Structure 1
Amino acid sequence: MRRTSLKEVRVKKVHALGAIVLASGLALTACGSDSSDSSGDTPEVKIQGAFIPAPSSGDMAAGFFIAHNSGGADTLESVTSDIAGQVTLHSTKGGVMKEQESFAVPADGELDFERGGNHLMFENLKRTPKEGDKVSVKLHFAKSGTVTVAFPVKAATYNPTSHASH
């Protein structure tokens, strides 16, 4: 039978101690993330009222929706769709349309994309969406990740009352 040297015993103790410290650190990290989740810091984004008015031209379309957030603040960073080469974010203030890099989604609040205000622009359309179609749109949020929404294509003049009530 081989005898264990004092040096080998010390190395084993150091390795065991290191494993205990690592496990303790991981346990504390897990506890820390659980407590921040329960404090309401995690966004809970739900999309409502999404639609695309049937476009009058074949190369661009607009999109509208409301992002309801019952948690912590988030940011809408980008949007993609298989019908468009590019989807850009726009604001309209005082009749002036301006492209935006992102939009803040306030904690316990909402972000409206409505006619005459914030909206999506589907550019370089690969096909023209027709009234009655559903278009798959991916909204990419900083914290909530990607939310996929089916945007129904409505009549070109469609203007929902749910947006007007805000």
Structure 2
Amino acid sequence: MRHRPVLGASVLAGALALAGCGAGDSPADLSVGTAYMPQPVSATMAAGFLTITNDGGTGDELTSVTSDAGEVTVHETVDGAMRQVDRLPIPAHGELALESGGNHLMFEKLKRQPKQGQTLSVELHFADSDPVTVEMPVKPATYRPGGGSAHSGHTGN
């Protein structure tokens, strides 16, 4: 009889621990779509745009981007002013849109000027999720995506 209260307390503690692992705590589930770079007019600088969708129950953050094409930094735009940031949040069950006139990627010190029809490979790095490699097509300088989302990458998290 003496062991039953201990066993009952252990079962209760285990049940409470599992209760904290509900669906709302599922890891980030990231995918990337609508990635593109407008053909740059500068030989050394360009912008890049994409959308990161998080179907998971936990937020994450875009912390950096790397590319063989040159240096890539993450920028946010607030009240028309652009500034480099160390990270941008990707909310749970939400998205981070990097788009013209808003938050975006800035390519600097390009090793070659990308031309329309070519693609650049970029690797997105996150605070908690595995990196995602994305093929970014070079579009006309005036290109704006219209609806639909062709996914370019997905993590298995």
Which residue number in structure 2 is paired with residue 99 of structure 1?
A: 84
Shift of 1:89: 0.6
Match of 2:33 among 48, 51, 55: 48
Matches of 1:37 and 1:139, distance apart in 2: 28
Matches within 5 A, 1:121-160: 121-160=106-145
Matches of 2:67 and 2:22, distance apart in 1: 31
Matches of 2:121 and 2:47, distance apart in 1: 14
Q: Which has the larger Rg?
A: 1
Deviation per residue, 1:19-55 (Å, 9 max, x gap): xxxxxxxxx9xxx89x848554300000010000000
Q: Which has the higher helix share?
A: 1
One-letter amino acid matched to 1:79: V
Change (3 A) 1:132 1:94: same
| Contact map agreement 1:41 1:73 (CA 8 A) in 2 | no
Matches of 1:36 and 1:136, distance apart in 2: 36
Matches of 1:39 and 1:96, distance apart in 2: 35
Which residue number in structure 2 is paired with residue 76 of structure 1?
A: 62
Change (3 A) 1:90 1:44: same
Q: Secondary structure at the match of 1:89?
A: strand
Shift of 1:124: 0.4
Structure 2 residue 140 is matched with structure 1 residue 161: no
- Structure 2 length-normalised TM: 0.77
Structure 1 stretches lacking a partner, 5+ long: 1-27
Name the count of aligned residue pairs.
Answer: 131
Higher relative contact order (CA 8 A, sep 6+): 2
Matches of 2:117 and 2:78, distance apart in 1: 30
- Structure 1 length-normalised TM: 0.73
Percent identity over the alignment?
Answer: 47
| Contact map agreement 1:60 1:122 (CA 8 A) in 2 | yes
Structure 2 stretches lacking a partner, 5+ long: 1-13, 149-157
Matches of 1:95 and 1:69, distance apart in 2: 26
